[in-house]
Chain A
């Protein structure tokens, strides 16, 4: 498998070349937080009537009395030691907070992306098979609606219909009913942990909690995925090799799936990677609406209370995830398209 080897080499090189970018992100967010208005020392003082001395003490405690370059050096050396600082809000190390909350965000995003892909690819294919037909226009309308309606509106609508009117969905707060006993944590993904623990009832409860927020997030990204599937499927169907496949009488299924779709799916992989990264950061609205204990809502709360460390930690996490996702996309692409590894 020289092709796979070449892909791995390429992926490794890509990873190395993204390190400077990561460093840039670190420094940039650090500086950005420093120029934002608001003094964290005042915010975290005991009360509105805290004396000047107390604030000064907190300032010293937090290292804010030092110059910005000095602070940056301290910050970077801390990160080098794997210490992202402590959140003033929760009183816990940021690393611990993020580790607790990241699986919730990832589980939500993965599920949403999966739902979006399962819906978008067939929709795109159907639209491409009958361009200009009623189906095509229907898909276009559906996609437009998905993009136009903000996620928190669609989230609230879904809650209204499925929880309030129909009573099908559970109470839309959090990942799981507070009274359910949690499974031993292995992956951090509740639905998977329940399965591993063999607790089907718990698994079902977790899935029921997950489905509404995931769907409202998926609705938002179905449009780009379906549109790109349709466009690249149209190109594929009109290409010479599909004509060749038809000329030797291959079955309709073989022509559409094996020949056209497998080629058309290549750009969809790229777009799916981009969509995933965007969703991770942008799902703060959904997390808020569904009281989902994810990293995005955590970062937003920290930002509002001028809590530097969690925001910086969050941005670093997002940047690293972005690099990682791109890497995965690269590897997938290399496996799916034999032409890539040649270059």
Chain B
């Protein structure tokens, strides 16, 4: 390994919270060589971001380094004060953050923000700083940089904002860049462009990078060495090849198994020990619908125009059979969420018709649809499990509510029995039912959301990115749950997602959307293995793949 730039030695970080002191980092030891790109991978709460913030001295007031050293070029960062610290921040090490739009000052032109960073560390005139800022915008490949200098963050896309953030971070040529989930929340194609750019810049400038991410595939694509963190400790550190083919630690094994790949199947997502229970269910064959059965859902030439006139969705047609699963994929702005909401009858289509079970429901106004008898049959699971549960309803109330409103059930033993049945169905322990959403974990909240959706025994479940906010291990369990519901209860799934690997596993058929129109559709595996359009190919290629043994062997 090349010359050592950063050495973290037995680092401990604690946060003082209302419930006492919480140790977020418990003895992390790491080294980063000059010019190296290290991946720091873990699930939420593993302490990976806290490690990054401790290194750049950006912990918030409640957090404190309680032990260990962070040596940057032999100097202990944790002991720096005042000016020494400011000379370090930005000039020697800098950081880019998860939510690029929020990370930029909303009311300051981006050119000024870059110049601010330059002027802090260099004694040059304002004009010279402006010229340098312009060069940086060119370096991060922003089109029309002269005009963009005066733009504000809200006028730029998320990917553009992240490029500006990178420009700020590299403005003073730091030796170390810490990227904290730099592409989470960006589209796969944007993610690839931004990460490629970051890797190129780091290589060109000889900058060491720590890539903090929850996405093993992403880390594997860009890093030579990956450290896996769990509950404040590093459990394993190896090259991606070794990590994926021969993971040593149990947690790494679970993480690797849960990360969807191009070839993985739903049942592969858990490690062998946990697989037993699931296998018995999968083996049950799905009954094929009798020939000539009318489709469950038929959508004809659906279109949606918002006030401005341009169509968010145009000429969208599809059919779904009962118990079928269909994936709806595309980049943000492709109209996939709008389409799913129209089918759920949460918003009204401008044109076209929706036929459910032989009955036209497209013309029922969305605000009256709750009175339709089909409301029970079409249910939705939303993206954010935190935001989509009423904070003042307990888990029990959440699941019972649709039963009372749509099924007309009264509070009593029958209701309680049905709620408990649903909870059991989604694997939610019954003793969690009296709890409120804030007392549940992300995965548990997702289960409540699904239990609520299946409470009235729907025939079509529309899922809008149901696992986007979840850790991979939780996502694996939720995906298995959904697949099981489909097989056992014959619920059709319309699955909206930007994660192609997940869609490939879960869905029989996939529809690719772009700018509100269908680009390509077909049987999932065929579509992904052999995309017919450039757009789909671009989407597929942008997914960070975890190279499995066979692929690696072929490459060697």
Contacts and interface: CB of A to CB of B under 8 A. Distances in A.
Interface of A: 238-241, 243-251, 254, 258-259, 262-263, 266, 336-339, 342
Given A240-B103, A249-B91, 13 more contacts: A240-B99, A241-B103, A244-B97, A244-B168, A246-B58, A247-B94, A248-B89, A248-B172, A249-B90, A250-B117, A259-B105, A263-B105, A266-B107
B104 interface: yes
B131 interface: no
A342 B99 contact: no
Given A248-B90, A249-B86, A243 B154 contact: no
B56 A338 contact: no
A241 B106 CA distance: 8
Contact of A248 (B106, B152, B154, B169): B169
Interface of B: 56, 58, 60, 85-91, 94-95, 97, 99, 102-108, 116-117, 120-121, 152, 154-155, 165, 168-169, 171-172
15 contacts: A239-B102, A240-B102, A243-B58, A243-B103, A244-B165, A244-B168, A247-B94, A247-B95, A250-B90, A254-B116, A258-B116, A259-B105, A262-B108, A266-B107, A342-B155
A291 to B, nearest CB: 45
Contacts of A342: 154-155
A245 B165 CA distance: 11
Contacts of B117: 248-250
B23 to A, nearest CB: 22
Contacts of B106: 241, 263, 337-339
B94 A248 contact: yes
B503 to A, nearest CB: 31
Contacts of A238: 60
Contacts of A338: 106-107, 152, 154
Contact of B97 (A240, A254, A263, A266): A240
B104 A241 contact: yes
Contacts of A262: 107-108
Contacts of A250: 90, 116-117, 120
A241 B168 CA distance: 12
B165 to A, nearest CB: 7
A249 B97 contact: no
Contacts of A266: 107
Given A259-B105, A339-B107, A247 B56 contact: yes
B56 A336 contact: no
Contacts of A244: 97, 103-105, 165, 168
B169 A263 contact: no
Could you tell me the dominant secondary structure of chain A's interface residues? Answer: helix
Nearest to A259: B105
Nearest to B53: A243
Nearest to B116: A250
A249 B85 CA distance: 8
Contact of B102 (A241, A247, A254, A336): A241
Nearest to A250: B120
Nearest to A342: B154
A198 B97 CA distance: 58
B221 to A, nearest CB: 25
A250 B85 CA distance: 11
Contacts of A336: 107
A266 B105 CA distance: 13
Count chain A CB atoms within 10 A of each CB in B60, B107, B116, B121 and give the residue with the most. Answer: B107
A266 B120 CA distance: 26
Contacts of B168: 244, 248
A339 B152 CA distance: 8
Contacts of B94: 247-248
A247 B90 contact: yes
A251 B86 contact: yes
A121 B309 CA distance: 44
Contacts of B104: 241, 244
B83 to A, nearest CB: 10
A262 B116 CA distance: 15
Which 4 residue pairs spanning A and B have beta carbons closest together? A248-B90, A249-B89, A249-B90, A240-B102
Given A248-B169, A249-B90, A339 B103 contact: no
A263 B95 CA distance: 22
A53 to B, nearest CB: 66
Contacts of A254: 116, 120
A253 to B, nearest CB: 11
A109 to B, nearest CB: 29
A241 B91 CA distance: 18
Contacts of A258: 108, 116
Nearest to B106: A339
